[in-house]
Structure 1
Amino acid sequence: MAAYLYRLGRLAFRRRWWVTLLWVAVLAAVGFGAVKAPAAPDTGNSMPGIESQKAFDLMDQRFPGAKADGANARIVFVAPHGEKVTAADNRAAVEKVVHEVSGGPQVAGAVDPFQARAVSKDAGTAYATVTYKVAADDLTDAAKKTLEDAVQQARDAGLTVEVGGNALATQPAAGGAAEGIGIVIAAAVLLITFGSLAAAGLPLLTAIVGVGVSMASIMALASTFGLSGTTGTLASMLGIAVGIDYAMFVVSRYREERARGHEPEEAAGLAAGTAGSAVVFAGLTVVIALAGLSVVGIPMLTKMGLAAAGAVAIAVVIALTLVPALLAFLPRAVLSRSARRDAKNKDVKNKEPKAKRAKAKEGGEHNGGSRWARFVLRRPLPVLLAAVAGLGAIALPVTGLQLGMPGDEAKSTSTTERRAYDALAEGFGPGFNGPLTIVVDAKGTADAKGAVHRITDRIGATKGVVSVSPARFNAAGDTAVFSATPSTAPTDEKTKDLVRTIRAERPALESATHASFEVTGSTAVNIDVAQKVQDALIPYLAVVVGLAFVLLLVVFRSLLVPIKAAAGFLLSVLAAFGAVVAVFQWGWGADLLGVEQTGPIMSLMPIFLVGIVFGLAMDYEVFLVTRMREAYVHGDRPGQAIVTGFRHSARVVVAAALIMMAVFSGFVGSAESMIKMIGFGLAIAVLFDAFVVRMALVPAVLALLGDRAWWLPRWLDRVLPNIDVEGEALSRRSPAAALPAPDTTPDRESAHV
């Protein structure tokens, strides 16, 4: 592979205009397709295989047209302290709001709270439900203004009025300003790392091109494959992060080969053949992790994973083609200032004595990476124990992990949705915000109404149920729907137990009534999704880790290195889970991050965290350890190979990790709890994996293993394909081509490892 990518890099360098124009044409073509493509249909968030979804499907079938997907608003009225909303003045103000809203644009209907008995027992709180003919995203400014003006009039009359539902709720985006901040920080890290504006700007430029191509492709194919507006969120986030990282590794290797004295074209080819090989396999691990999300069986996750995998694949291709082409336009500009001076005085330098030139080359041999590697080599066991103990301690809170789907209760108290939630919970009880919907299928039952009433009475008498609503039958009279209000909040563990209890009563009731029922509603959906994710987590880990193990086995030609890589990943991801639970569930340091309400961890968080972090962790593993493997193959002792790998890769891996953390940390500032949680989880996971696992645990384990780290049974060595990630074929073609510059002054301890 190294030889093929070497030729590809040189070809892209020589045909720089053609390669650049080709990518511009691709960007223009997919951009045109995105503009002309029809809008993607709203397919909803179907969750096949769970009871809640079966109930929704039954409702769609038996109550045609009754399932409203339009926007809704729940206007909550709270009387001043000591007063009641039923007082004449307050009642008049409430009825005026309902009247004005009902006549507004796009309104399907507005229910008067006094007619619907939507008044609390103490008459201090009431609510009116407003439904719209269109989805929340399609509401016009006029429709929203009508609602806002009516609400303000009630406030002027002395009532406290808040609005729940999705009509006025802002839809936070996982990009925008946060993504811009991440790019700015990434640019600063690149500038510090490379010391050249051209070298810092090139990875940013190619990453933006890659994200542009991938996002435009997603938009162009949205209607064909039913991709929603959120499908590209993960693709955008990862595309910009890995796009910068992959280009940075190729540029860094190009600069290194230029420092060895190679001509620009040769250096570009060598960079593509060596660093490019690592990019290919690092990208494959990310693609495997993202495509593996399809194992979970949630269509939304599958589409997001495949779209993000496509974005990563595009980033890999750009790193192998467009980056060498742009290097041809900037062969000296991407070098550091001292390297540019050396290149300018090349002829003078070539006339210097050989010993003097060798001494000059060794000027960059001893850096922070090599010094840290030697520190670990001198005391590998204490470093290993400290890393494992530290990550293990941080991971302890994961034993108390509770999954759910935070709703309005997790929003900031500055939002009207959160205040409406609190007012309803105070006036009607904590379970009012998450009623359970019971769908009774009495088709084929002799006495359908009698069966429904018996089921209603039994569920209403269940401990933990405050009240049940009257059953509503369909036109055929064979299906009914009613609500059961729990006594506890939607995210409370007791509510989960209640759902399980009601479902456990089903066999006895079905036997007695010959009618079946399903439990659904937002609360039940969240419970079912959390359980589905928990059940899928182990199979997902098995598939992803298994495939990645095979891939790393081929790359490193070692049994122990892939096992060590997987074990290190599990440590880092468990520690990240522990940190997320400690902050967002237990509330440790929550104020520092602006977390106003603690509660269950988002149901999809484990899958997101495992998938994304696994791919990125293997990125760092491949980039760091392939350089060690390269040095080992070319004759270094195991300890010295570790030093060589760190000397050449540590600085770039650290920069890559800082860029990732910058991109993900930008989302911690979001007002949306779920986005804040994802941003924090990913940023802390990268911190643990890059700086603790890859920088401490990896060299410590390899130092303890010595030559055994690179052991492979002979029969397996014969079976595995030789893909030559280390560029051995390039070194045979030109002995100095891919060989790392030797460290002429290794310390004695590392040399004997």
Structure 2
Amino acid sequence: MSSFLHALGRAAYRHKWRTILVWALVMGVLGGTAGLISRSFDNEFTIPGAPAQVALDQLSRTFPEVGGTSASMIVIAPEGSDVESPDVREAVEARLDDFEALDFVDTAANPYDDLVEGTISDDGRAVIVQVQIPGDAQAVTDAQREQLVAVAEELQADLPGSTASMGGEIFNMSVPGFSIVEVIGVVVALVVLIITLGSLVAAGMPLLTALLGVGVTMTILLGSTAFAAINSTTPMLAVMLGLAVGIDYALFILSRHRELLADGLDAEESAARSVATAGSAVVFAGVTVIIALVGLAIAQIPFLTVMGLFAALGVAVAVVVALTLLPALMALAGERMRPRKPKPAAERGRPFRGWVRLVTRVPALTVAVVVVGSVLLSLPARDLTLALPNAGENEIGTPARTTYDLQSEYFGPGFNGPLIVTAGIIGSDDPLGVMDGLKADIEAMPGVQSVPLATPNQNADTGIVQIVPTTGPSDPATADLVERLREMEDDWLDEYDVPTAVTGATAIQIDVSDRLGGALLPFGIFVVGLSLVLLTMVFRSIAVPIKATLGYLLSIGVAFGLTTLVFNGGHGAELIGLERPGPIISFLPILLMGILFGLAMDYEVFLVSRMREDHVHGRPAREAVQSGFVGSAPVVTAAAVIMFAVFAFFVPEGEGAIKPIAFALAVGVAFDAFVVRMTLVPAVMALLGERAWWLPGWLERRLPALDVEGEQLHRQLELADWPGPDAGQVAHVEGLAVEGLLGPVDLDLDPGEVLVVQGAPAQRAALLMGLAGRLAPDAGRARIAGELLPGAGGAIRRRSGYVDATLQPDVERGLETLSRRRPPLALVDGADALSTPGARQALDRLIRSAQERRDQAVVLGVATASVVADLIAGPHQYLELDPEPAPALATAPEQTTSDALATRKDPR
């Protein structure tokens, strides 16, 4: 990874204008496409297959009169009058024709009809007109909504002193927008960048790259509205997260660039190394965020999956922009990025040195204080109340909010969240009696305010019972009522012989919330398990991943606890512009867990990787904790402040779901960065000492290595001139060994040479696969086709060809492919076992071509060397492997010598 990123950073630096032009073209093409095909957002929170959704879909087919969507107009009579007075009634009924004259309206129910109940308030001051519209709410345009509002305004003008407000399902959508407050967050980020980087030019780069990344993401998102249902919270979330991680990722790379420049490194090499080292950590951090966000699909809720995918897309774009466009901008800045008066190493990070000494002086006390405090702050989360958004959470003064509040005032809170019980009465011989019985049973249930309608459809195959609860749509008591109604389904089937179901917008929202709640545990297991596996691979440790995961859980608990206190309890609501406390949007917990997981792992990687780097380079464990903390804490602090500012400034003016999401993320990031990572982590690391880096040998061998610190790159740079001009140009091997299979081997190979390796199948396979980059050696080092081993196995695999004649079904074809591809190193195991003349001739052509052209070296693995002797006419070597299994290797690769080499014969 680090080697690839080193080359990528160097290429972007050298071809700066080409890189910038490519990104400009990408932005232009995507922006133009999005402008042509984008559509409106879809704010329906539904779950295909959920009981209430299935019942509603069925109802739309069998009882279309109550299917589709609706709007409602509430009329408040003038002071001293009531809605039964002739002038009010006449004005209301006159507007019914105006509603039905609109081409998109199906019916407008007369609230004064004797068959309609519950449309006139108990005090007679208010009346409700229900307007039925075919299709769903998303199909209604803004122009159509304005037509409905115009009818209500005309009615209000006809009745001086009255109030007429239009609301209902089609007005419930509230599309979040941007304000100047969010811009202030970006300004704060710029100030922090200037302080951290010490340069206005450098500070502008992370903002530029982050804004470009957000722009690319938004154009893709807007264009995708033509093909997928995307709710209006998704772009706000993508912008918020894309800005935060885009600035932070660029900051990490730029900070390393400035450090390397301060140490006197050439600007181009500094940019390349910064992308290779800090960029490796950025890639890992970005991948963890992306995996966690894509993991939201575990809930199997379409709108949440879409939110996670586009948020993940924003992070992915931020990573790619930071790795490509940023080094191009570094090239434009050139020497202006070099600090003028770099501080001596001893003076860097002085405040952080004092802090880490404080928290590690008595580490057990620090751990106890942080853990106890975190648990106390998490306790309010026990009372967390969740619900999906409704019109009652819209901004004051909007039609939907005004109508919602008036209906709650005059008809009770349950009027804003009616429920419907459907009954399949096609087999009943007394459909009216069944509906009357259901109505009576429901009216007697606790939590039911009224049953305004209980009727079969015209075909007498489906009946509906409309229920007005005593509580609002977001009240947990309404969910309890839905559960009681569903518990009655078996009783009603026994008594009336009809199947029933509970549906309606409120029931669907309750089903969505239940599904989200049920997904929390499997998603939590996924996230925690993922963090343990990834961090074990990165840090080669058992204790570090466990500590990191437990810290993440503390941060999640605190974020939930404080969000509950503010949004459910109303504590400090006025400070964030919260009009009134209420339920938190149902998908916040799972969304917060996914996003905060990735961000927490960001800080963990950037802090602890520097500690590990110092420890690997010889510092004692406790001393490495302090030196690593001092080296990484400044940039982590700046990154956390920036991320907190971006999230926090979305809170005051945030609408609907964005406000609690932004608040929870701001709180979670701040607590995780400053309390968990910068206080708890160094204390735990100091407490563990050397035990922090313990990993069982069997696990060490089986885990893939993620070179986040760029160790392989440093090794390649150190050995750039190794092994020298006198060594083999295709392969130079020193002490290559595989424990239990292959003793230390030395060899040199030049183009045009053939090496015949004689030995047992397992031994020669270990050597040949090692030379081909397909098996990591336990000891020794090698330069194969210009690439370093161990480390560059992938590059060696691309520059070599390997055929196993004992296993490959079409050996002749494999040998012909080697001749055609002409990799610098061709390896054929079991060359003496070729059973067909065609295969032997193909091997002969491969060897002759390599020796004539001198552009390829060939290695043959055999059990008996004499079998292939007639095929080799030019330069060649023989290597006979030691038949004894290689002992356990206790020495480092650099310490192995050629003393234990197998016998080599060279008859040239």
CA distance in 1, matches of 2:217, 2:169: 30
CA distance in 1, matches of 2:279, 2:519: 34
1:560–1:709: 8 Å Cα contact kept in structure 2?
yes
Q: Does residue 235 of the first structure (1) align with residue 238 of the second (2)?
A: yes
Q: Does residue 123 of the first structure (1) align with residue 124 of the second (2)?
A: yes
Task: Between 513-522 and 698-707, report the one with greater CA deviation.
Answer: 513-522
Task: Between 526-535 and 29-38, report the one with greater CA deviation.
Answer: 29-38
Aligned residue type for 1:618? M
Aligned residue in 1 for 2:494: 511
Out of 139, 143, 149, which is 1:139 matched to?
143
2:153–2:164: 8 Å Cα contact kept in structure 1?
no
Aligned residue in 1 for 2:572: 589
Q: Does residue 567 of the first structure (1) align with residue 550 of the second (2)?
A: yes
Out of 203, 206, 209, which is 2:206 matched to?
203
Q: Secondary structure at the match of 1:382?
A: helix
Q: Does residue 613 of the first structure (1) align with residue 611 of the second (2)?
A: no
Q: Does residue 289 of the first structure (1) align with residue 298 of the second (2)?
A: no
Q: 1:246 to 1:392 in 2, by over 3 A?
A: same
Out of 143, 153, 158, which is 1:149 matched to?
153
Q: Does residue 332 of the first structure (1) align with residue 330 of the second (2)?
A: no
Q: Give the drift of 1:442.
A: 3.2
Q: After TM superposition, list the pairs within 5 Å mapping 1:189-338 onto structure 2.
A: 189-227=192-230, 230-338=233-341
- Per-residue CA deviations over 1:621-647 (Å, capped at 9, x if unaligned) read 112211212212122222222222222
Q: Give the drift of 1:446.
A: 5.4
TM-score by length of structure 2 reads 0.74
CA distance in 2, matches of 1:91, 1:65: 24
Q: Does residue 159 of the first structure (1) align with residue 162 of the second (2)?
A: yes
1:211–1:239: 8 Å Cα contact kept in structure 2?
yes
Q: Secondary structure at the match of 2:336?
A: coil
Aligned residue in 2 for 1:523: 506
CA distance in 2, matches of 1:594, 1:226: 30
Q: Secondary structure at the match of 2:650?
A: helix
Q: Give the drift of 1:414.
A: 4.5
2:43–2:232: 8 Å Cα contact kept in structure 1?
no
Q: 1:292 to 1:269 in 2, by over 3 A?
A: same
Q: 1:105 to 1:34 in 2, by over 3 A?
A: same
- Per-residue CA deviations over 1:282-311 (Å, capped at 9, x if unaligned) read 001101110010001110111111121122
CA distance in 1, matches of 2:513, 2:171: 28
CA distance in 1, matches of 2:537, 2:654: 44
Q: 1:4 to 1:552 in 2, by over 3 A?
A: same
Aligned residue in 2 for 1:56: 56
Q: 1:167 to 1:405 in 2, by over 3 A?
A: closer
Q: Secondary structure at the match of 1:636?
A: coil
CA distance in 1, matches of 2:198, 2:706: 34
1:526–1:603: 8 Å Cα contact kept in structure 2?
no
Aligned residue in 1 for 2:698: 715
Task: Between 685-694 and 107-116, report the one with greater CA deviation.
Answer: 107-116
Aligned residue type for 1:67? G
Q: Give the drift of 1:331.
A: 2.0
Aligned residue in 1 for 2:21: 21
Q: 1:335 to 1:169 in 2, by over 3 A?
A: farther
Q: Give the drift of 1:57.
A: 2.1
Q: Secondary structure at the match of 1:48?
A: coil
Q: Give the drift of 1:570.
A: 0.8
CA distance in 1, matches of 2:252, 2:424: 60
Aligned residue in 2 for 1:362: 345
- Per-residue CA deviations over 1:430-484 (Å, capped at 9, x if unaligned) read 3222111112123445555544443333223222222223334345422222211
CA distance in 2, matches of 1:65, 1:151: 25
Of structures 1 and 2, the larger Rg is shown by 2
1:411–1:671: 8 Å Cα contact kept in structure 2?
no
CA distance in 2, matches of 1:232, 1:671: 13
Task: Between 410-419 and 112-121, report the one with greater CA deviation.
Answer: 410-419
Aligned residue type for 2:150? T
Q: 1:448 to 1:160 in 2, by over 3 A?
A: closer
2:370–2:680: 8 Å Cα contact kept in structure 1?
yes
- Per-residue CA deviations over 1:244-289 (Å, capped at 9, x if unaligned) read 1111110110001111111011111211111011001100110111
Q: Does residue 484 of the first structure (1) align with residue 467 of the second (2)?
A: yes
Q: 1:363 to 1:234 in 2, by over 3 A?
A: same
**Structure 1: gaps (5+ residues):** 340-359, 738-753
Aligned residue type for 1:190? L
Q: Secondary structure at the match of 2:619?
A: coil
CA distance in 2, matches of 1:391, 1:43: 36
Aligned residue type for 1:74? S
Aligned residue type for 2:261? R
Q: Secondary structure at the match of 2:541?
A: coil
Aligned residue in 2 for 1:462: 445
Q: Give the drift of 1:335.
A: 3.8
Higher helix share: 1
- Per-residue CA deviations over 1:70-90 (Å, capped at 9, x if unaligned) read xx5422222355532222344
CA distance in 2, matches of 1:227, 1:435: 26
Q: Give the drift of 1:230.
A: 4.6
CA distance in 1, matches of 2:257, 2:178: 32
Q: Secondary structure at the match of 1:245?
A: helix
Q: Give the drift of 1:361.
A: 3.6
CA distance in 2, matches of 1:710, 1:65: 68
Q: Secondary structure at the match of 1:722?
A: coil
Q: Secondary structure at the match of 1:669?
A: coil
Aligned residue in 2 for 1:85: 83
Aligned residue type for 1:114? Y
Q: Does residue 499 of the first structure (1) align with residue 482 of the second (2)?
A: yes
Q: Secondary structure at the match of 2:480?
A: helix
Out of 690, 693, 710, which is 1:727 matched to?
710
* Greater relative contact order (Cα < 8 A, sep 6+): 1
Q: Give the drift of 1:563.
A: 1.1
Task: Between 175-184 and 700-709, report the one with greater CA deviation.
Answer: 175-184
Q: Give the drift of 1:734.
A: 4.3
CA distance in 2, matches of 1:128, 1:361: 77
Aligned residue in 2 for 1:352: none
Q: 1:387 to 1:206 in 2, by over 3 A?
A: same
CA distance in 1, matches of 2:682, 2:171: 53
Aligned residue type for 1:518? A
Aligned residue type for 1:329? L
2:418–2:469: 8 Å Cα contact kept in structure 1?
yes
**Structure 2: gaps (5+ residues):** 721-908
Q: 1:243 to 1:73 in 2, by over 3 A?
A: same
Q: 1:169 to 1:454 in 2, by over 3 A?
A: closer
CA distance in 2, matches of 1:88, 1:569: 66
CA distance in 2, matches of 1:589, 1:411: 20
CA distance in 2, matches of 1:36, 1:669: 33
CA distance in 2, matches of 1:733, 1:76: 75
Q: Secondary structure at the match of 1:139?
A: helix
Q: Does residue 378 of the first structure (1) align with residue 379 of the second (2)?
A: no
Q: Does residue 660 of the first structure (1) align with residue 643 of the second (2)?
A: yes
Aligned residue type for 1:78? I
Aligned residue type for 1:487? T
Q: 1:224 to 1:526 in 2, by over 3 A?
A: closer
Aligned residue in 1 for 2:745: none
CA distance in 2, matches of 1:4, 1:533: 40
Higher strand share: 2
Aligned residue in 2 for 1:749: none
Q: Give the drift of 1:231.
A: 3.8
CA distance in 1, matches of 2:51, 2:399: 32
CA distance in 2, matches of 1:319, 1:336: 21
CA distance in 2, matches of 1:669, 1:713: 50
